[in-house]
Structure 1
Amino acid sequence: MLPDGLSAIRVGGFQPFTTLDYPGQMAAVVFLQGCPLRCVYCHNPDLLPVHADTEIDGREIAARLKERRGLLQAVVFSGGEPLVQSGLAAAMDHVRSLGFKVGLHTSGISPDRFQRLRDRVDWVGFDIKAPFSGYGGVTGVNQAGRRAEASFAMLAAWGIPYEVRVTIWPSLIDCEAVRQIATEVHRLGCKDFALQECRDPATGEAMGGAAFLDEDLQADLAQRFPGFSVRRASHARAA
């Protein structure tokens, strides 16, 4: 492992406190640079490329986390897409050595790297972009759906808490697409399922969508998933 563990990753942002990113836990969020997907609604486009001039020294993050022991319960790795970074496992090991639980926000883009995290992560927020057969229109990467499906099957078998989140881009994700995603993940035992409203990257306006207006759809999801929730676009990432 590199000197401070967190030096093994390219950090693009740090949020020192949140109650939103790991359910039931007071947490900090480490935002990793890099993502192979180009989702039409991406709310962190500054993190998509890896830029040395905007990188935060991992040793600085490690020092801040040490100061917050006893105040925070968990550290969440988000992005960007954390799985693109080969040093993620080392960074998680370091966070765990400090006494924190480990959370992960991911699209599951790399099943091989995801598999290596099985004994390192305590909770996962799994972002499903579309029905697994239809990722191309949302992400620009057709094969991403196959990879996400493989990673989600692993996660469902691990037995750790997780949440599936579906962000609604209205012209691409309609009620039928939500039902299809829900059926796929419910079959594998998902209990926590969230619909998330996105903002138009160009204007910042909340996009809405039929899924937020369809009471029958929401009633069906609430019946299928004990932890069903709806999140309208009201929170922004802290840099």
Structure 2
Amino acid sequence: MPSAASLQSTLVVAAAAPAEAQSLRLGGLTPLTTIDFPGRLAAVVYCQGCPWRCGYCHNPELLDATAPPALPWERALAFLQSRRGLLDGVVFSGGEPTLQAALPAALAEVRALGLQTALHTGGMYPGRLAALLAQLDWVGLDIKALPQRYDAITATPGSGARAWDALEVLLAHGTDHECRTTWHAGLFGVDELLDLARTLAARGVRRWALQECRTPGAPAWALTDAHRQQLAALFPSFALRRA
């Protein structure tokens, strides 16, 4: 029979978990999506803060980790509770969700509602990703380039090694996932894009999405039908997402 001290410790841990989740800093919420969590009707919560500074970032308003949260976690959780039976899952996106220490507790609260969980990540914290995988049903991992290109894209030294380590963690665990690359020819050329695709396929990636990057001054889309066919032939599941 557990001692009074161990029971008290258990109660303290149980009481602390919600408080930890409440510190999650959110920049907003999408009530319903059919595309961000494949095969599920899902909501998306956007976590604030990201250590990288990619020039084509689509959510720059979420980069500042010190900004006051736009949406308290309690309100987001209350919304999710009200959608039980209507939603299949919740996507934690960003920003970079794994930047925040409150993420595991928030995932646990969502799963306690009977909802599945998904994560969108750039892979900058492979160790944290490894610790989260048991709580995740699906992961969307950004692979921005071959490792040697990362520093220029993210403005962060050593970022390529981290992202590719995260890929190895994800592949080893076996969690359902998709790799995605946002690209235009000004980042690197078509030949290097083909090398990236071959490298991903050789590592064991089976689902890859190539996303067109449209930023001011970006070159016109440079892929031919022949290029698309070469890319599609490398993966059991390949998606081309035009902006």
Alignment TM-score, normalising by the size of structure 2: 0.88
Give the match's secondary structure for 2:145: coil
Q: After TM superposition, what 4+ stretches of structure 1 lie above 4 angstroms from structure 2?
A: 205-208
Shift of residue 226 of structure 1?
A: 1.7
- Give me the whole-angstrom Cα distance separating, in 2, the residues matched to 1:93 and 1:162: 20
RMSD: 1.7
- Give me the whole-angstrom Cα distance separating, in 2, the residues matched to 1:129 and 1:222: 18
**Would the alpha carbon gap of residues 185 and 69 (structure 1) be closer, same or farther in structure 2, given more than 3 Å must change?**
same
2:228 corresponds in structure 1 to 218
Tell me which amino acid in the other structure corresponds to 2:221. G
Shift of residue 92 of structure 1?
A: 0.9
Q: What is the aligned counterpart of 1:186 among 180, 201, 206?
A: 201
Aligned length: 228
Is the aligned partner of 1:230 residue 2:240?
yes
More helix by share: 2
Is the aligned partner of 1:81 residue 2:96?
yes
Shift of residue 208 of structure 1?
A: 4.2
1:209 corresponds in structure 2 to 221
Identity %: 43
Is the aligned partner of 1:134 residue 2:144?
no
Which range moves more in the overlay, 164-173 or 142-151? 164-173
- Give me the whole-angstrom Cα distance separating, in 1, the residues matched to 2:20 and 2:83: 17
CA contact (8 A) 1:128 1:166 kept: yes
- Give me the whole-angstrom Cα distance separating, in 2, the residues matched to 1:229 and 1:125: 13
Query: Which structure's CA Rg is the greater one?
Result: 2
Q: What is the aligned counterpart of 1:103 among 118, 125, 135?
A: 118
CA contact (8 A) 2:18 2:105 kept: no
Alignment TM-score, normalising by the size of structure 1: 0.90
Task: Using CA pairs under 8 Å that are at least 6 residues apart, name the structure with larger relative contact order, 1 or 2.
Answer: 1
Give the match's secondary structure for 2:17: coil
2:79 corresponds in structure 1 to 64
Give deviations 1:195-230, integer Å, cap 9, x for gaps.
101231xx5x886431xx322221112111121011
Give matches, 1:24-173, under 5 Å: 24-173=39-188
- Give me the whole-angstrom Cα distance separating, in 1, the residues matched to 2:57 and 2:132: 25
Mind listing any 5+ residue stretches in structure 2 that lack a counterpart? 1-15
- Give me the whole-angstrom Cα distance separating, in 1, the residues matched to 2:80 and 2:104: 17
Give the match's secondary structure for 1:155: helix
Give the match's secondary structure for 2:201: helix
